[in-house]
Chains A and B, each alone.
Chain A
Amino acid sequence: MVNRGITRRRLLASTPILAVAGFGLPALARTYRGGSLPWEPNDTSPPIPVRAGPWLYFTADEAAAVEAIADRLIPPDDSGPGGKQAGCAVFIDRQLAGSFGDSRGLYMRPPFANGTPSQGLQSPIVPKERYRSSLAALEDYCKTTFAGNGFVALTAIQQDQVLSGLENGEIKLKDGNGKVFFEAILANTIEGFFADPIYGGNRDMAGWKLIGFPGARYDYRDHIAKHNQPYPLPPVSILAQ
């Protein structure tokens, strides 16, 4: 969780604008008696920005399917770009390649049993496995049902039919649970559309512009008393893009 591999120098090098704004100023000095503490001054655990480049986890076919799904969940229209252009597939790819994809940190020891809805996550299948097996099963379903066409080749109406079928449980995928997969990719697409752009989605802060969210701003004191007035400043990312 605390990434001690990141030095202050590297952090500052990657965040030049915030550094000027006082990023990483030390806390007020204080004295501790009795020896050293298990942390270093100015040690931080900043987010690690996603790098552009090839897919880290998805195959090209998987990525194309995820982009197509993201574009049906959040279609592009007059109000702005859709899920694909906003980078939702890149976001999900990077998430699956990291700790989220492995459910690292979650309690994943056996025995596994089916629980009630209120007992929450009980599956041994981690997200990266879920995506791989469900995307393969989805492709299989589409090719069987639509004369050899995979999900990407379907019309928007057909794609919506498939996604609706997954959502309401009418379409059973070979790998088990299409509804669980739908819920996962819906949640991750929404995360990708609205999480900070450092994670690869929300490109050009499209999600935040759409809903008028000011982003990673910290101090609203100058605006709190200005009732019924729109917040005047544009959204800003953690990296102050």
Chain B
Amino acid sequence: MATKLPAKDVVVIGLGWTGAILAQELTDQGLDVVAIERGPWRDTATSFNIGYAPDELRYGVRLDLFQRPSQGTLTFRNSDREMALPIRQWGSFQPGNGVGGAGVHWGGQTWRHLPSDFRIRSYLTERYGASFIPHELSIQDWGVTYDELEPFYDRFEYLAGCLQERLNVAAPRPIHSSLDDRSTFAGPRRMLCQGRSAIAAAENEALIPV
């Protein structure tokens, strides 16, 4: 028999990084939110108890925190001449499970895409000509620019405690949106979460190439 649960304003399916941020934003707006997650509830003090969190066999080798392939897996092959077979045991690809999702093993690095990534088809065409892109390659511009997204990068990095000042600080210079920028690995930051004095100090110490 179906159980009818109380009505909610919003149902968030999957409570990892993305779902958790969405749920927070929505509840901050006063909405009544329920989140649905496959797998166990996770709580720092219990699921990541310092007494046994360093257990490498359990977590690093037997992959205790991840989705069980028996719950659901996918098939793959490296070329269309091979037969696709199920992934029976995770290798390089380890999907998350439970509250927190794959965030339980994120590496703490959030690299910004390059400005050119957001207009990749236009960018490649400008740089190498239209014939550079094979017919079957369906890459497209994103429809949102780096400049539009940049404040949200900044906000997320602040939330997640990430700081990329060693990589690329845009401020106080005007923002650039091409590879001519001094950026090599990540898009430039318009504003550092820690404020411009921190940027100036870092530049004075030559931590940042000027």
Residues in chain A within 8 A of chain B (CB atoms): 1-2, 15, 18, 21, 23-27, 34, 37-39, 42-47, 100, 103-109, 113, 115-116, 118-122, 191, 194-196, 199, 215-219, 238
Contact = CB atoms under 8 A, between A and B. Distances in A.
B49 interface: yes
B161 interface: no
B89 A106 contact: yes
A23 B49 contact: yes
Contact of B88 (A34, A121, A238): A121
Interface of B: 6, 32, 34, 40-41, 43-47, 49-58, 61-62, 64, 68-70, 73, 76-78, 82-83, 85-89, 91
Contacts of B64: 1
B5 to A, nearest CB: 10
Contacts of B47: 44-45
A103 to B, nearest CB: 8
Contacts, number: 107
B57 A2 contact: no
Contacts of A115: 83, 85
Contacts of A106: 68-70, 88-89
A218 B88 CA distance: 32
B45 A119 contact: no
9 contacts: A25-B45, A39-B46, A42-B46, A45-B46, A113-B83, A115-B83, A120-B87, A191-B61, A216-B55
What are the 6 A-B residue pairs with the smallest beta carbon separation, nearest first? A107-B69, A195-B57, A39-B41, A27-B45, A105-B68, A216-B54
B57 A191 contact: yes
B69 A119 contact: no
Contacts of B58: 47
Given A106-B69, A122-B88, A218-B50, A196 B40 contact: no
B45 A24 contact: yes
A120 B89 contact: yes
B49 A24 contact: yes
Contacts of B44: 27
A34 B83 CA distance: 49
- Scoring B69, B82, B85 by chain A CB atoms within 10 A of each residue's CB, the highest score goes to B85
A215 to B, nearest CB: 8
Nearest to A219: B50
A18 B52 CA distance: 10
Nearest to A99: B62
B50 A105 contact: no
Contacts of A44: 46-47, 49
A18 B55 CA distance: 15
A113 B69 CA distance: 17
A119 B91 CA distance: 9
Contacts of B86: 107, 109
A46 B45 contact: no
Contacts of A104: 70
A109 to B, nearest CB: 8
Given A106-B89, A113-B83, A199 B41 contact: no
Nearest to B32: A34
Contacts of A2: 40
Given A2-B40, A34-B32, A108-B70, 7 more contacts: A1-B64, A27-B46, A39-B46, A46-B51, A100-B62, A122-B85, A191-B61
Contacts of B46: 24, 27, 39, 42-45
A3 to B, nearest CB: 11
B78 A116 contact: yes
